[in-house]
Amino acid sequence: MPTSRSYGDACTIARALDVVGERWALLVVRELLLGPQRFSDVRRALPGASSNLVTDRLRELESHGVVTRRQLPPPAASTVYELTGWGRELEPVVLALGAWGARVPLPRPASLGVTSVLLFLRGSARPRGTACYRVELDARVWTVRTEPGRLTIEPGEPGAPDAAIRTDPSTLNALLEQPSDLEKAIADNRITIEGDRNAVRRLLHEHES
């Protein structure tokens, strides 16, 4: 059930936490940073949260004006959730929290979600050229575009990609850390590449760990 608990504190930090301080709320925000998502996509990205809990967090964030939902036109005709303009202002806060949390020991066992590795790719990339990639991670497709000094990511199929990549988040994360392992990952069938393999090499190399 959605909660309306408040710290009852006039401090702006406490008031912000009244909105996004519930468990899983900021992780729901994280999942929407790369664009609109269906409920099933958000739910699958947060396996530790029940369907009811994810529903509650989305409702709370929507009631506070952080998240909105809309109906996609046919043929999709499905409902998606996305950040409002105010909600998108949380992006630097969430990313800064992630940078701060890098020194926190990893839980055991630990999983790595699609959004997390894509945010890492976007934040660390320093591309020098222009290219378009179709990236399929855990059966979801993303469009990744590079231009000098900038990398963008959005959900959905690209029009004419230079290369297509199909893998899992952990493998992509490992290759961003150690791009020289690409050929071994291909041989082990942990990653499949179609199109310009050199473009994929550039994508893996043009980032800062």
**Are 172 and 126 in a shared domain?**
yes
pLDDT category at 72 given cuts 50, 70, 90 is: confident
The CA-atom distances, in angstroms, between 79 and each of 69, 153, 172 are: 7, 21, 29
Domain end call among 60, 78, 100: 100
For 159-200, write each residue's pLDDT tens digit: 999 999 999 999 999 999 999 999 999 999 999 999 999 999
Give the model confidence (pLDDT) of 81-134 as tens digits: 999 999 999 999 999 999 999 999 988 887 889 999 999 999 988 898 999 999
Asked whether residue 76 carries a pLDDT value surpassing 90, the answer given is no
pTM score of the predicted model: 0.90
Residues 61, 117, single domain; the answer is no
Q: Is residue 179 part of a domain?
A: yes
Task: Give the pLDDT of residue 1.
Answer: 56
Residue 177's domain comprises 112-204
Q: Are residues 169 and 90 in the same domain?
A: no
Mean pLDDT of the chain: 93
Count up the domains in the chain and report the number.
2
- Secondary structure (DSSP) of 123-166: HHB---S-EEEEEEETTEEEEEEEETTEEEEEES--SS-SEEEE
